Every structure is written in C-alpha cells, then in structure tokens.
Chain A
Amino acid sequence: MTEHLRVDPIACRANGLCADLLPELVDLDEWGYPIVAGSDVPAPLRATATRAVRACPALALSLTDR
C-alpha cells in the first residue's frame, strides 16, 4: 500500500512550506506552486511527508492511500 502525495489545487495558496520541508518530492514552479513529482511517498520519507501535510497553512496537501 503506497502512500500518495496530493495537492488540492484550489486550496493551495503558494505558501511553499511543503517544498521547504519535503524538497525530495516537492518542487515549486515559477509562480511558487508545488509540483508533486511522481507523488508516491517512499517509506523513509513518510514521517517528513506527514509533517509537511500538517505544516501547510492552507491544508492543501494530503497523503492518501493508492
């Protein structure tokens, strides 16, 4: 059961905390919005991904099962 990182594009306000906390999985485009490359979260990054999800001021980031 892989965990899957997802951005809600309407909720996202380009705060950018996710890219700061999880640079391995999240890049920012030229306007500051996250590009979640691949979006499957490997086990070693699960804890950091959870931190990033909690840190998002807009609650736009989520971890789902896929």
Chain B
Amino acid sequence: MISLWYASRAAGMLALILLTGTVVLGALTGGRASSARWPRFTIAALHHNLSLLTVAFVAAHVVTAVVDGYAGIAWLDTVVPFVSVYHPFWLGLGAAAFDLLLALVATSLLRTRISPKVWRAVHWAAYACWPVALLHGFGIGAGDTQSGWGLAVVIACLAAAIAAVLWRVGTSSPDTRARRGAEKAWSLR
C-alpha cells in the first residue's frame, strides 16, 4: 500500500499548485482584470473550474492518505483539526484548510439560494484557506517541501499568491469607491 502514500504526497503537491492558481484567478476576478483574449467571464469561469479541479485533487490527496493506512490517519482527522495521532498540528492545518475549501465550494454552488452577504463573507475566507494549506504542505511535507524542487514549488506558489493579493488590494472600481464614500457620509461604517 506504500504506493498510495506516494500518490497522496504527489496529489497534495498538485493540489497546492491548483489552489494557488485558484486564488490567483480569484484575485484577478475580484479585481476585474480582463484583456481582449481573456474577457471577464473567461477568467471567472477559469477560476470556477480550477476550484473544482482543486477540490478533486484535494479529495484524492485526502482519500489516498487515509486508505493507505501507513500513518494511521482516521477519516475524522481529515475534517476535524488537531485530533490526529499523526503530526496533529500540521495535519490539523490541512483539515482546517479542507473545511474552508468545502465551505467555499458549497456556498458557491448554492450562490443563488443563499444571502449574498453570507456568500461574500465565506469567500473572503479563501484568503485564510490558502496560507493554512500552504503551511500544512510545508510543515507536513518535510523532505518533499522543505528542500529541493519541492521547496522551489512552495516558494513559487507563495510568490504568485502574494503578487496576486498585492495587486488585488491595490485595485478598486469606481463603483466600490463611490459606495464606500457614501457609506462614510451616511455614517454606516
């Protein structure tokens, strides 16, 4: 069963890359990036589809880790943080990130049926999900992510996400600025 363990580590690495890509595209979507070849709905659709692919790889990463049995990880450990026998802290971070990811995807799939404020609040939690996932990968990955090309991938993901977030923070649409100005004038915030 040792091959499933390796599959889990590989899937985890891929999930991290895909999640980073999802966050970058999410920042681009929220920041209203667009070009002639990449109109708004294309970037938004790419973000949406990549997030689903990410969930698939995270699921594969989680399932193979549990089924393999090498580390004695229980099913509960995958969604309840910090209760595992195996590296409780680092694994717990992964469980936390997984929970956030499930919340993100569930609320997005039910977007038309839930309050827009709830959807927005949960979606902002995405910016918490990614660093937690990264820390999980870095901490639990040991040799995989703390040296060699594994570390290079982690650093590249970190750089990409930071760049995207910095860009996102620096943009605001005229609509947002007008609303914020008015809310100040009406003393609503």
Q: Find out whether A and B make contact in their complex, taking CB atoms under 8 A apart as touching.
A: yes
**A residues neighboring B (CB under 8 Å):** 11, 13-17, 20-21, 31-32, 54-55, 57-59
Known: A17-B41, A17-B44. A59 touches B173 (CB 8 A): no
In the complex formed, the residue of B with least CB distance to A18 is B41
Known: A14-B175, A31-B174. A59 touches B44 (CB 8 A): no
**Count of A-B contacts judged by CB separation below 8 Å:** 30
B29 / chain A contacts, CB cutoff of 8 Å? 57
B174 to chain A, nearest CB (A): 7
- In the assembly, what is the distance between CA of A35 and CA of B138, in Å? 50
Tell which of B39, B44, B174, B176 touches A57, judged by Cβ atoms closer than 8 Å.
B44
Tell which of A11, A15, A54, A58 touches B40, judged by Cβ atoms closer than 8 Å.
A15
- In the assembly, what is the distance between CA of A17 and CA of B116, in Å? 18
- In the assembly, what is the distance between CA of A59 and CA of B44, in Å? 14
A13 and B39 contact, CB distance less than 8 A: no
Tell which of A13, A20, A55 touches B173, judged by Cβ atoms closer than 8 Å.
A13
Q: How many residues of B contact A (CB 8 A)?
A: 14
- In the assembly, what is the distance between CA of A17 and CA of B48, in Å? 15
**Chain B interface mostly:** helix
Cross-chain pairs A/B with CB under 8 angstroms, 10 sampled: A13-B176, A16-B40, A17-B41, A17-B44, A21-B41, A32-B174, A54-B112, A55-B41, A55-B45, A58-B116
B173 and A17 contact, CB distance less than 8 A: no
A14 to chain B, nearest CB (A): 5
Q: Is B87's CB within 8 Å of the partner chain A?
A: no
Interface residues of B in 40-93 (CB under 8 A from A): 40-41, 44-45
B180 / chain A contacts, CB cutoff of 8 Å? none
Question: Which of A13, A21, A54 counts the most B-chain CB atoms under 10 A from its CB?
Answer: A13
- In the assembly, what is the distance between CA of A32 and CA of B32, in Å? 12
B39 and A20 contact, CB distance less than 8 A: yes
- What mask results when residues 116 to 130 of chain B are scored 1 for a CB within 8 Å of chain A, else 0? 100000000000000
